[in-house]
Amino acid sequence: MTALISHPARPLAGAAAVPGDKSISHRALILGALAVGETRIAGLLASDDVLATAAAVRALGAQAEQDDNGDWRVYGRGVGGLAEPQGVLDMGNSGTAARLLMGVVATHPFTATLAGDKSLSVRPMERVMTPLSLMGAQFTTRSGGCLPITVTGAPSPVPITYELPVASAQIKSAVLLAGLNTPGRTTVIEPQPTRDHTERMLGHFGAEVVIVEKPGAPGGGGAKEITLTGQPELTGAEVTVPGDISSAAFPLVAALLVPDSKITLTGVGVNPLRMGLIETLKEMGAVLSIDNRRNEGGEPVADLTVVTSGLKGVTVSGRRAPTMIDEYPVLAVAAACAQGVTRLEGLGELRVKESDRLDAIVRGLTAAGIEATATDDVLTVKGGGGPPPGGARIETRLDHRIAMAFLVLGMVAETPIEIDDATTIDTSFPDFAGLMNGLGAAVAARQGG
């Protein structure tokens, strides 16, 4: 384990590029493996999670390698052309990779076993297995439907129309990816919009995807019906991966809180279905601009500039949760430094992330001298309008976002904050400490640790 201490920072200043979007990186490798010909990916996030996906697609018969320029080249096998892996597919810490690849394998006529690390092995997979079973796949799992999971793909898969029981881009994506090698039309109905990277990228590779707004569907306005026509011939494509807004969240919030700061983050993905944090921070009073908007590979991209701002507490409806589900740990840090009470609703999904994030947030904030409480799905944080006491040692629970969020809190607290294990940060944000220190933070390994 690598313990890190985050000391109160000097003003943060300068420009930086955060690592590539993890969600898009996973999908680019997977769809490249299912396409015919060469896919070239620029800006791929070379994190532990994404490298696990690259290894998995190689094990399934595709070629995926980084070239001398740092770009990745994938040579695919075509839809339905993947091969049975010789060994276990190790997904490491990545729930996204595990669930998406379960969808891919579910409609190939072979058997594959997926496994993961200690954290991933307790995360729920039944919600993905349910629709994939309806398509003809069979699963053998540990009790509770957890990894390792052996998938026996359907030799004659059948298309389905499936209404998501919860708003989840991972379940949606698994069903759509299974639908690629299924004759006919596969339809997913989502009660409220979730990140749409899969639909965008499927279209970019040549699939026929039709999206219909369903304002009258259960769940109220914003519901969507996504229909994929199966067995297309996907063609290798050029993909540019934008900076990950979930990673950008950490330096953005740090600059909002550390006095006299101003930073710019370049080339960040600003997909409308990922902008919940930005909308919430603006409601709290953040001075934040979105400049140089452009489109790269089907995804909107922009530069984000933020300056130190006085924040106030707000109430955030659970309907916003799908657009910022990974950003709640660092949003809780912002709430701890805001003036007044912040109430974040609809957070039940945080109970089944890399850790029980809701519990980890409350325990960490409380240890740092901040008043915070949680019910099953609501987090309430009482901010003091300035630096909290700090001085805590945080148990990260193998959760990269908990680790980074509390390092950000240490940058603004009155006394340093230590995290017990920074190793897992590499799953999404390699050299996080280096980037933050380059902007003016003071994050260092614990002496003797």
Domain boundaries, the chain: 4-19+242-445, 22-228
Q: What is the pLDDT of residue 143?
A: 83
The average pLDDT across 83-87 equals 97
The average pLDDT across 103-109 equals 98
Which of the following CATH numbers is that of domain 22-228: 3.40.50.10420, 3.40.50.300, 3.40.920.10, 3.65.10.10? 3.65.10.10
Amino acid at 321: A
Q: What percentage of the chain reaches a pLDDT higher than 90?
A: 90
Q: Which of 326, 376, 420, 431 is catalytic?
A: 326
Phi, psi of 417 (to 5 degrees): -120, 135
Q: What is the pLDDT of residue 449?
A: 46
Q: Are strands 339-344 and 379-384 parallel, antiparallel or unpaired?
A: antiparallel
Helices (H) and strands (E) in the chain, counts: 12, 24
The average pLDDT across 278-293 equals 98
pLDDT in tens, 383-400: 999 999 999 999 999 899
Q: What is the pLDDT of residue 296?
A: 83
Split at pLDDT 50, 70, 90, the class of 135 is very high
326 is an active site residue: yes
Give, in order, the Cα–Cα distances in Å from 240 to each of 71, 74, 298. 9, 14, 9
Q: Does 4-19+242-445 match 22-228 in CATH topology?
A: yes
The average pLDDT across 369-375 equals 97
pLDDT in tens, 27-78: 999 999 999 999 999 999 999 999 999 999 999 999 999 999 999 999 999 9
The average pLDDT across 249-278 equals 97
Q: What is the pLDDT of residue 353?
A: 76
Q: What is the pLDDT of residue 219?
A: 38
Query: DSSP per residue over 347-404, as a string?
Result: -GGGGGSSS-HHHHHHHHHHHTT-EEEE-SS-EEEEEESS---B--EE--TT-HHHHH
Q: How much is the mean pLDDT over the chain?
A: 95
Q: What is the pLDDT of residue 124?
A: 83
In this structure, what DSSP letter does residue 423 have?
G
Beta bridge partners of 299: 296
pLDDT in tens, 328-341: 999 999 999 999 99
Domain 4-19+242-445, what architecture? Answer: Alpha-beta prism (3.65)
